[in-house]
Structure 1
Amino acid sequence: MTILSLLISCGKSSDKGELVGVKGAKWHPEKPYGMALVPGGAYIMGKSDEDVAGVQDAQTKTVTVRSFYMDETEITNSEYRQFVEWVKDSTIRMKLAILADEQGVKAGDSKGKGKNAGSIGDFAFNDADPEKMTAYDKYMYDNYYSVGTSDDIYAGRKLNKKVKLIKDPKQYPDEYYVEVMDSMYIPLEEAYNGLRTIDVDKLKFRYSWMDIQAAAKAKVGKRKDFIRNEEVKVYPDTTVWIKDFAYSYNEPMHNDYFWHKAYGDYPVVGVKWTQAKAFCAWRTLNKNSYIKSKKSGRDLINSFRLPTEAEWEYAARGGLESATYPWGGPYTKNDRGCFLANFKPNRGDYAADQALYTVEAKSYEPNGYNLYNMAGNVSEWTDSSYDPNAYEYVSTMNPNVLDASNKRKVVRGGSWKDVSYFLQVSTRDFEYADSARSFIGFRTVQDYMGVQNTGNGTGKARKNR
């Protein structure tokens, strides 16, 4: 007979031997900046009116979705530029840190004078100086970061982001810095009119994610077998303004739409589904990095992501049952004769609604959930794969179709170049994940944590039942 001895701590305990759970700070939901809460609930998904196009891909079905936050507007050029600038900044810093590592240069190794004081060593990896490393950092460096991974020998190394990048060529500190900056620009033979611009193909964002769907279905396998690594070029395809419209003069939009300040608050376009997914990963990383830097003990946020098709339609309806459009009625004009969205009202007449291309993301009146342009302006990527028969087999709770082999992804809402049929909240459309268009953008969502307040009754009411 084996006797197991339990060693009981003699330390003081506040639980008095009772099962009280692990105590911690009370959770208070925090609404993300620029987002609106969409209270979950049930609704009839699909066509509530005649299917004029005869597609027969949106049969009615009662489904339920959980609460979530959604961007009040489409992601704008200015917001997406923040992503591009972050990637550019990180790419330059990584190149500088790698070259400093190869040259054995560290902070303080300066040969310059005056404005050129400093060296590439100022941008060395944060772990480059053993004397400034904590015990934890030194252990991680010795056992992991110093050897990297099979596909990235610098994986895990920390960039020094406290030192500002030097943008003025006249103040570059040394020839190594010049070498790195030179590598970021297009070759001289590709420049014209004396303008040498950033080589946007160098702007790549790398991230990893766990394929939970595959892991759940697999009978065997280790965690690492389901980790997916992505590397995505982040710069939008500005040539979509030319490619999407043959025999049409749209060069000004190609040249200026993404970068000019005049279009900063307009929705970003020319973004592939894969780029929209990368943006979501970056937005999550960016916010959590900020929270960590403050060392305030705050919980990290859960991920930003693209909405599912069911979430998008539910949000677009704005709490209105059997609505044709986000504003409810079956007409595209209000009682004063003004159009309620940006689309193509008549054949060949793009300007009848007072807008030729896109308009600012916060245009027209928002719907019942305070969401702007859920119809028209730009169509929007969703996370869902397109299957014309999906409504016949999807779950009635948080329905979604995720099929990695299906490159057709659902887009919703219609755009500035579409007729009113595509603006209807129940109309389904698709585009290929690796395609970019001048009329497709996106917005992000984040899951609501805590009691699920719904449009069918408050969480408090359900709790008291």
Structure 2
Amino acid sequence: MKKFILLIAVITMLASCGSKDRGELVGVQGKKWHPEKPFGMQLIPGGSFIMGKADDDLAGVHDAPAKTVTVRAFYMDETEITNSEYRQFVNWVRDSIVRMKLAVLADEVGKVPEDGGIGEFAFKDADTANMSVYEKYMFENYTGLGPTGYEGRKINHDVDLIFNTGEYPDEYYTEVMDTMYLPMEESYNGQRTWDVKKFKFQYSYMDIQEAARNRGLKRKDALIKEEIEVYPDTTVWIRDFAYSYNEPMHNDYFWHDAYSDYPVVGITWTQAKAFCEWRTINKNSYQKSKKGSAMVNRFRLPSEAEWEYAARGGLQAATYPWGGPYTKSDSGCFMANFKPVRGDYAADQALYTVEAKSYEPNDYNLYNMAGNVSEWVNASYDASSYAYTSTINPSVNDRQNKRKIVRGGSWKDVAYFLQVSSRDYEYADSARSYIGFRTVQDYMGTKVTNNSSNK
């Protein structure tokens, strides 16, 4: 027994001698953290502000009584998400679906990269000899655990897709591409268009709020799986306005380069949420490809408090992002894109939407926090929610309540809806020609506040 105790003591001494911590409690030393500002975003320092109506509630809605709240620091997009940025998402989804279809058919007909044609798009795990130990283990134990039997297999992103019909490499490739377009009988003017109903994005997330409240809930029961059609509803330009000629906007607004820098519209709340998930996946895929790079926090829609705090730009009790109470500057120019006069949409020098970087930004360098398009936020509408929400990072988002908050007013709204405290809502599955969105990302750390930044 004495020999055993002596052996333990010797091992302990050797371990201590070989350690850099000299036996002290120094903690686990990780890599030094350097926060990286996401592209196209501004850092909004945390702080407190008076949320809600500072003036009389002229509309008599009584859903935004003044209340002092505090929010943590976060990053926010400088502008609303543009058509060009959303097209990146749509194209990614479309291309991923095409690549998966090509890989599945290549697998079914037994084609591999050496065969050329559709074989070049075969699953990358077709050659298990070049897998790492981990990849081989995952392939052998988890691949195919799903409804299709192809879950867990890697699609090939290294080979460019071919969209010119005259360059299709073989009949298998042609067969796959044919399924992605509308049938010939639904085509006109000699053009076949994409069947956008097939552009669906699948993702999963954990309902942490529900998991925290229900301690008996199993982890797998807190996982939510979604499948969302991602293409904007371009018909909103016609459906939103009865007896009105808006076909040019329906035909061109989303896809034409003339509108690339304009805010995307025709997006439901669920599609905006899906975009956030994709943006996170897209960024972290890049981070993963760079050895040693840390994963980023997820992108998301802002809470209602975060949106209003950012819209105010550090101005307390202001009516609009630029202060107010007027909608015109000293030189007589309108400060935002909205409907100044009944029936007169062009008085502010804009008929519909304008480019996302238009008008002057607020003091947080955020553009169009009032006007242009209303913006989805991650909150459910409850007229009395200000009465019971927390005063720190207040958030109300009931999955059963499909009425989701939109903020900021739009090109077709009167000035009241441009006020930073005005609340409005739309149903989560509804798309409008005047609703868009912007995203936020949590800031890692807590020291960045308005108070500290002013010292």
TM-score using structure 2 length: 0.96
Partners of 2:52 and 2:200 in 1: CA distance? 38
Q: Provide the residue aligned with 2:109 in structure 1.
A: 103
Q: Provide the residue aligned with 2:208 in structure 1.
A: 212
Q: What is the CA-CA distance between 1:294 and the residue it aligns to?
A: 2.0
Amino acid at match of 1:108: E
Partners of 1:321 and 1:97 in 2: CA distance? 56
Instruction: Work out whether residues 415 and 423 of structure 1, in 8 Å CA contact, stay in contact via their aligned partners in 2.
Output: yes
Residue-by-residue CA offset, 1:27-72 (whole Å, 9 max, x unaligned): 1111000000110100000000111111000011000000000000
Q: What is the CA-CA distance between 1:457 and the residue it aligns to?
A: 2.9
Q: Provide the residue aligned with 2:19 in structure 1.
A: 13
Instruction: Work out whether residues 106 and 129 of structure 1, in 8 Å CA contact, stay in contact via their aligned partners in 2.
Output: no
Instruction: Work out whether residues 361 and 372 of structure 1, in 8 Å CA contact, stay in contact via their aligned partners in 2.
Output: yes
Instruction: Work out whether residues 379 and 441 of structure 1, in 8 Å CA contact, stay in contact via their aligned partners in 2.
Output: yes
- Which secondary structure state, in structure 2, belongs to the residue aligned with residue 313 of structure 1? helix
Q: What is the CA-CA distance between 1:221 and the residue it aligns to?
A: 2.7
Amino acid at match of 2:108: E
Q: What is the CA-CA distance between 1:10 and the residue it aligns to?
A: 4.0
Matches within 5 A, 1:354-393: 354-393=349-388
Partners of 1:49 and 1:458 in 2: CA distance? 28
Q: What is the CA-CA distance between 1:453 and the residue it aligns to?
A: 1.3
Amino acid at match of 1:421: Y
Q: Does 1:52 align with 2:49?
A: no
For structure 1, list consecutive stretches of 5 or more residues without a partner in the other structure. 110-117
Matches within 5 A, 1:18-417: 18-109=24-115, 118-145=116-143, 147-149=144-146, 151-295=147-291, 297-417=292-412
Amino acid at match of 2:145: G
Q: Provide the residue aligned with 1:114 in structure 2.
A: none
Q: What is the CA-CA distance between 1:280 and the residue it aligns to?
A: 0.2
Partners of 1:131 and 1:100 in 2: CA distance? 19
Partners of 1:17 and 1:183 in 2: CA distance? 65
Q: What is the CA-CA distance between 1:160 and the residue it aligns to?
A: 0.8
- Which secondary structure state, in structure 1, belongs to the residue aligned with residue 293 of structure 2? coil
Partners of 2:21 and 2:391 in 1: CA distance? 42
Partners of 1:247 and 1:345 in 2: CA distance? 22
**Could you tell which deviates more after superposition, 329-338 or 125-134?**
125-134
Residue-by-residue CA offset, 1:291-341 (whole Å, 9 max, x unaligned): 11122x011100000000000000000000100000001000001100000
Q: RMSD value over aligned CA atoms?
A: 1.5
Partners of 1:102 and 1:388 in 2: CA distance? 56
Partners of 1:99 and 1:154 in 2: CA distance? 11
Instruction: Work out whether residues 29 and 450 of structure 1, in 8 Å CA contact, stay in contact via their aligned partners in 2.
Output: no
Matches within 5 A, 1:432-451: 432-451=427-446
Partners of 2:388 and 2:36 in 1: CA distance? 35
Instruction: Work out whether residues 413 and 423 of structure 1, in 8 Å CA contact, stay in contact via their aligned partners in 2.
Output: yes
Instruction: Work out whether residues 73 and 446 of structure 2, in 8 Å CA contact, stay in contact via their aligned partners in 1.
Output: no
Q: What is the CA-CA distance between 1:133 and the residue it aligns to?
A: 1.9
Amino acid at match of 1:355: A
Partners of 2:416 and 2:149 in 1: CA distance? 52
- Which secondary structure state, in structure 1, belongs to the residue aligned with residue 309 of structure 2? helix
Partners of 2:435 and 2:365 in 1: CA distance? 21
Amino acid at match of 2:449: T
- Which secondary structure state, in structure 1, belongs to the residue aligned with residue 113 of structure 2? coil
Residue-by-residue CA offset, 1:389-433 (whole Å, 9 max, x unaligned): 000000000000020000000000000000000000000000000
Instruction: Work out whether residues 207 and 231 of structure 1, in 8 Å CA contact, stay in contact via their aligned partners in 2.
Output: yes
Partners of 1:458 and 1:300 in 2: CA distance? 27
Instruction: Work out whether residues 379 and 404 of structure 2, in 8 Å CA contact, stay in contact via their aligned partners in 1.
Output: yes
Instruction: Work out whether residues 72 and 446 of structure 2, in 8 Å CA contact, stay in contact via their aligned partners in 1.
Output: no
Instruction: Work out whether residues 42 and 456 of structure 1, in 8 Å CA contact, stay in contact via their aligned partners in 2.
Output: no
Instruction: Work out whether residues 108 and 119 of structure 1, in 8 Å CA contact, stay in contact via their aligned partners in 2.
Output: no
For structure 2, list consecutive stretches of 5 or more residues without a partner in the other structure. none
Amino acid at match of 2:124: N
- Which secondary structure state, in structure 2, belongs to the residue aligned with residue 70 of structure 1? strand
Partners of 2:43 and 2:257 in 1: CA distance? 30
Residue-by-residue CA offset, 1:179-236 (whole Å, 9 max, x unaligned): 0000000001111111101100010111110000111111313211111111100000
Amino acid at match of 1:424: Q
Amino acid at match of 1:46: G
Partners of 2:32 and 2:209 in 1: CA distance? 32
Amino acid at match of 1:232: I
- Which secondary structure state, in structure 1, belongs to the residue aligned with residue 48 of structure 2? strand
Partners of 2:439 and 2:325 in 1: CA distance? 27
- Which secondary structure state, in structure 1, belongs to the residue aligned with residue 451 of structure 2? coil
Residue-by-residue CA offset, 1:157-185 (whole Å, 9 max, x unaligned): 11110111112212211111000000000
**Could you tell which deviates more after superposition, 167-176 or 44-53?**
167-176
- Which secondary structure state, in structure 2, belongs to the residue aligned with residue 355 of structure 1? coil
Partners of 2:159 and 2:327 in 1: CA distance? 53
Amino acid at match of 1:305: R
- Which secondary structure state, in structure 1, belongs to the residue aligned with residue 69 of structure 2? strand
TM-score using structure 1 length: 0.94
Instruction: Work out whether residues 204 and 233 of structure 1, in 8 Å CA contact, stay in contact via their aligned partners in 2.
Output: yes
Amino acid at match of 2:131: M
**Could you tell which deviates more after superposition, 255-264 or 449-458?**
449-458
Q: What is the CA-CA distance between 1:134 and the residue it aligns to?
A: 2.1
Aligned residue pairs: how many?
A: 447
Partners of 1:315 and 1:335 in 2: CA distance? 24
